Amino acid sequence: MIGRFWLEPGGRALTRNLCSLEDALYKDTTRGRRKRTEAEVTRFLKTLWQAQLTSLHTDVPDAPESSLTLQEVAQAWIASGLMLTATRTRVEYVGSVNRFVLFCGAARPLLELRRHSLSGFAESLASSGLSEATIHKHLRHLQVFLNWAYDEEYLPRLLRVPKPAVVRKTPMVYSVEELDLIESTLDASLRTASSDSRRLAAQTHLRVFWIARFALLRAGEILTLPLSALDLGSKVVRVRAVPELLWTPKAKQERTIPLHSILLRFISEDLRRRSDAEVWWLDDGQGKRYYSAPHSLSQAFRRLLMRVGLADGRKPVHAFRATGITNMLGAGGDLHFVQRIAGHSNPQTTLNHYAKGEAWDVRETVELLE
């Protein structure tokens, strides 16, 4: 496919090869190769033409900018409806991309983005005092935006966000003694509750503790879990999308988790004490959710951990889940089964983040050395 360019009025047209016919008709996306629609072909060729024109004007002063600005494409991404529907997640993604827009300049043409722009942004995050986890979150969100811009042909080639080296940390888990202390504290809170509201709060926290510890659910999954997802006949809990809350599981990965015998007994006794109006695992007693956001739940458990002297930086609810995953791996649980129960899309996530070297007796392996 050939493009023609007039750099001066009345001057001779320059011709440049834009792409092959096959590249014009088909595109590589993050989901594989597929045929372009007529509108996509037009936009793709226009993008290539604009990029080539920008290149030709590099040495010409006061050349007019012809590509969409970074801010305009970011706004198109937000309006596209392709983002995740969870409100909190959407806000975080938009915040990350807005950071990048402010760093580069809102009026900067998207086609002028280069790898040094991305590495410069990563360096600015590192020097801003943000935690390693927050930096990786912003860079991950930015890559999602760039993937979309490439798939929608705003970018002629995919830009990769540089990934800083990751320090693998030992998972923050609870010991058996710490779990027993937390359980006894929650039981005592329920027994000594002086009002209905305190009793409901204590019961809610016990429900979080048991299902996070023995079903390995994430905080968001616990908050949005309907009672209908508990199948005592089949002895499973089903993590599914909840349309009425516009909520979907992480990575849209639904799963079915067998109920541990201890959890099954707790759930059976718990359900017998509930009213018919209740709908959610964490219900306020009237068919509404007790907590509507993960941070509210986390704050409640942080206060609990402070009372028992365990407030040491661990994410309380996630640590219940991490403890279960780590213990299953350490006891010799099959990696792929643990992965499925935990809801990880990749077994490497399970292995890299939750496998503790000290959880295995490695002495026999060392003895293999000659």
Per-residue pLDDT of 147-167, as tens digits, reads 989 888 888 888 999 877 666
Return the pLDDT at 60.
Answer: 43
Question: Whole-angstrom Cα distance, residue 73 to residue 224?
Answer: 33
Q: Are 270 and 296 part of one and the same domain? A: yes
- CATH number at 107 reads 1.10.150.130
When the pLDDT of each residue in the chain is averaged and rounded to a whole number, the result is 84
The band of 368, judged by pLDDT with boundaries at 50, 70 and 90, is: very low
Q: What is the distance of C-alpha 221 from the center of its chain? A: 13
| Co-location of 188 and 263 in the same domain | yes
Count of domains for the chain: 2
Q: Are residues 280 and 210 in the same domain?
A: yes
* Shared domain check, 235 and 108: no
Give residue-wise pLDDT tens across range 65-104.
346 899 989 888 887 765 555 566 778 888 999 999 999 9
Q: Which of 213-227, 250-264, 341-355 has the lowest mean pLDDT?
A: 341-355
Q: Do 79 and 152 contact (CB within 8 A), yes or no? A: no
149 in a structural domain: yes
Contact 342, 326 (CB under 8 A): no
Same domain, 89 and 214: no
Same domain as 235, residue 331: yes
Check whether 9 has a pLDDT greater than 90: no
* Pairwise CA distance, residues 76 & 58, whole Å: 27
Is the pLDDT confidence value at 11 over 70?
no
Residue 41 lies in a domain: no
Which of the residue ranges 49-63, 159-173, 226-240 has the most confident prediction, judged by mean pLDDT? 226-240
Q: Are 308 and 189 in contact (CB under 8 A)?
A: no
Q: Are residues 129 and 202 in the same domain?
A: no
Q: Which whole-number Å values give the CA distances from 201 to 68, 216, 233, in the listed order?
A: 52, 21, 28
Residue 231 has pLDDT above 70, yes or no: yes
| Candidate from 33-42, 150-159, 162-171, 190-199 with smallest mean pLDDT | 162-171
What is the mean pLDDT of the segment spanning 133-139? 90
Q: Look at residue 363 and tell me if it is in a domain.
A: no
User: What are the helix (H) ranges across the chain?
Assistant: 21-25, 38-56, 70-79, 87-104, 115-126, 132-151, 176-191, 196-215, 219-223, 261-272, 294-307, 316-330, 335-342, 347-354, 363-366
Asked whether residue 259 carries a pLDDT value surpassing 90, the answer given is yes
30 vs 20 pLDDT, higher one: 20
Answer whether residue 61 is part of any domain. no
pLDDT in tens, 329-360: 888 889 999 999 999 988 988 888 887 655 44
Q: Which of 30-39, 137-146, 230-239, 319-328 is predicted least confidently?
A: 30-39
pLDDT value for 2 = 66
267, pLDDT greater than 80:
yes
pLDDT of residue 369: 53
Instruction: Report in angstroms the alpha-carbon separations of 280 from 50, 174, 272, 287.
Output: 54, 27, 14, 7
Closest to 149 (Cα-Cα) out of 100, 208, 89: 100
pTM: 0.64
Which pLDDT score is estimated for 349?
A: 86
Both 120 and 198 in one domain: the answer is no
Q: Return the higher-pLDDT residue of 278 and 86.
A: 278
What does the pLDDT average to over 160-179? Answer: 81
d(C-alpha 342, C-alpha 319), whole Å: 13
pLDDT of residue 316: 86
Spatial distance between the Cα atoms of 97 and 294, rounded to a whole number of angstroms: 23
Residues 180, 108 share a domain: no
The domain boundary, picked from 118, 141, 167, lies at 167
Confidence of residue 241 (pLDDT cuts 50, 70, 90): very high
CATH number for the domain spanning 233: value is 1.10.443.10
Burial class (CB in 10 A: 0-12, 13-18, 19+), 51: buried
92 and 150, same domain (yes or no): yes
Final residue of a domain: which of 141, 167, 193? 167
157 & 180 share domain: no
Residue 33 in domain: no
Q: Which of 142, 167, 192 is the last residue of a domain?
A: 167
The pLDDT score that the predictor gives to residue 75 is: 87
Higher per-residue confidence, 263 vs 48: 263
Which residue range forms the structural domain that includes residue 229? 176-344
Contact criterion met (CB below 8 Å) for 96 and 135: no
Report the alpha-carbon distance of residue 357 to residue 221 in Å, rounded.
29
Residue 54 counted as domain residue: no
Asked whether residue 196 falls in the same domain as residue 331, the answer is: yes
Would you say residue 5 lies in a domain? Answer: no
- Joined tokens for residue 321: 């889940």
Least confident of 38-42, 86-90, 145-149, 240-244: 86-90
354 domain residue, yes or no: no
